[in-house]
């Protein structure tokens, strides 16, 4: 067979590579003269005027066409398919960064600072449940409010009660926030090598629900702690906050927690005020604050930046 004859009978001389957001193309040889390019994932709905490929052209011609002149059509077709697949694979490796370049483990105080355009992102394969909550102001501290929903619960959707305090731009805008988070679905993303397992809890895909009650504060809160005996025999939810002014406030959040599960309940104004204020630290701010785990009626230890403990 002459060189020109071989060129005329070659049914496909180039494979088009689609845009990078589509699955890779694979060239497959069909029975005898039937030869086409299949796209994994399907392309039927993207053909015609609604879709125009902007991909590059991969030329399968080589300098040794004279050597292929004596090869029959079927063999030449098989060689062309192999070349197309090889060139697509090589091009993909050359244009896409490696996994090490895409993701790097960040260790606080050990890893180098983030560079321009770099951001910290959570690994979805690590956390069984991960939800983001946007707050009106930054919060320096947070604690969990005990509930009666059971310990070591593992089913989903989950419910939890938390409390936090803000660091607002203006002192008058600061708040102590009591929050109920419910309908928290499982978000774990499995690795490719893990087997898919059916989970009855995964059927509930409704959006999470956030409810909140707020108490006004005069200053930014450095540290907040909930008593380990909160919600038990006496029903009190004793919560202490240490502000940047040096004052320590003690609140009872019983009415706020009760309002989440009692429709129509309005929290009285008296329940939004502290039940006690500690001013022994003067104007020295601090971050040391914790409740005793032995005294159920409440025993609090606080410490400021001068080393004073009360």
Q: pLDDT tens digits, residue range 235-284?
A: 899 999 999 999 999 999 999 999 999 999 999 999 999 999 999 999 99
Residue 243 falls inside a structural domain: yes
- Same-domain pairing of 149 and 293: yes
- Same-domain pairing of 156 and 264: yes
Of residues 294 and 14, more confidence is placed in 294
Q: What is the pLDDT of residue 198?
A: 47
Which of the listed residues 69, 99, 129 is the one where a domain comes to its end?
99
Cα–Cα distance measured from residue 259 to residue 211, given in angstroms and rounded to the nearest whole number = 10
Residue 107 falls inside a structural domain: no
**Mean pLDDT lowest among 12-21, 64-73, 117-126, 129-138:** 12-21
Q: How much is the pTM?
A: 0.62
Residue 286 falls inside a structural domain: yes
**pLDDT 10s digits, 53-70:** 445 555 555 555 555 566
Q: Which domain holds residue 297?
A: 139-191+201-303
Residue 118 falls inside a structural domain: no
Q: What is the pLDDT of residue 2?
A: 44
Which of the listed residues 74, 99, 124 is the one where a domain comes to its end?
99
Number of domains in the chain: 2
- Same-domain pairing of 149 and 289: yes
Position 51 pLDDT exceeds 70: no
> Where residue 216 sits, what CATH number does that domain have?
2.130.10.10
pLDDT mean across residues, the chain: 77
- Percent helix, strand, coil in the chain, to 5, is 20, 25, 55
Alpha carbon of 242 to those of 166, 182, 265, 303: distances in Å? 12, 28, 29, 9
Alpha carbon of 56 to those of 70, 91, 165: distances in Å? 30, 11, 55
């Amino acid at each position: 067979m002459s060189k020109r004859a071989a060129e005329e009978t070659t049914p496909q001389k180039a494979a088009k590579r689609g845009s990078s957001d589509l699955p890779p193309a694979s060239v497959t040889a069909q029975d005898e003269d039937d030869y086409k390019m299949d796209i994994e994932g399907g392309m039927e709905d993207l053909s015609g005027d609604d879709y125009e490929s902007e991909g590059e052209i991969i030329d399968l011609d080589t300098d040794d066409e004279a050597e292929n002149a004596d090869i029959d059509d079927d063999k030449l077709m098989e060689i062309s398919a192999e070349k197309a697949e090889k060139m697509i694979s090589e091009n993909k490796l050359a244009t896409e960064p490696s996994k090490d370049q895409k993701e790097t483990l960040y260790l606080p105080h050990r890893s180098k600072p983030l560079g321009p355009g770099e951001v910290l992102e959570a690994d979805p394969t690590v956390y069984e449940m991960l939800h983001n909550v946007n707050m009106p102001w930054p919060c320096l501290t947070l604690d969990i409010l005990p509930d009666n929903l059971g310990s070591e619960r593992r089913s989903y959707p989950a419910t939890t009660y938390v409390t936090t305090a803000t660091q607002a731009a203006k002192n008058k805008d600061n708040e102590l926030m009591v929050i109920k988070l419910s309908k928290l679905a499982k978000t774990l993303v499995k690795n490719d090598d893990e087997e898919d397992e059916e989970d009855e809890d995964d059927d509930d895909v409704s959006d999470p629900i956030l409810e909140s009650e707020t108490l006004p504060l005069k200053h930014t809160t450095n540290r907040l702690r909930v008593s380990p005996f909160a919600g038990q025999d006496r029903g009190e939810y004793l919560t202490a906050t240490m502000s940047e002014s040096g004052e320590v406030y003690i609140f009872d959040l019983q009415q706020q927690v009760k309002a989440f599960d009692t429709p129509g309940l309005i929290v009285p104004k008296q329940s939004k005020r502290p039940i006690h204020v500690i001013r022994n630290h003067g104007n020295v701010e601090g971050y040391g604050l914790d409740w005793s785990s032995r005294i159920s009626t409440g025993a609090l230890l606080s410490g400021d930046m001068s080393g004073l403990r009360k």
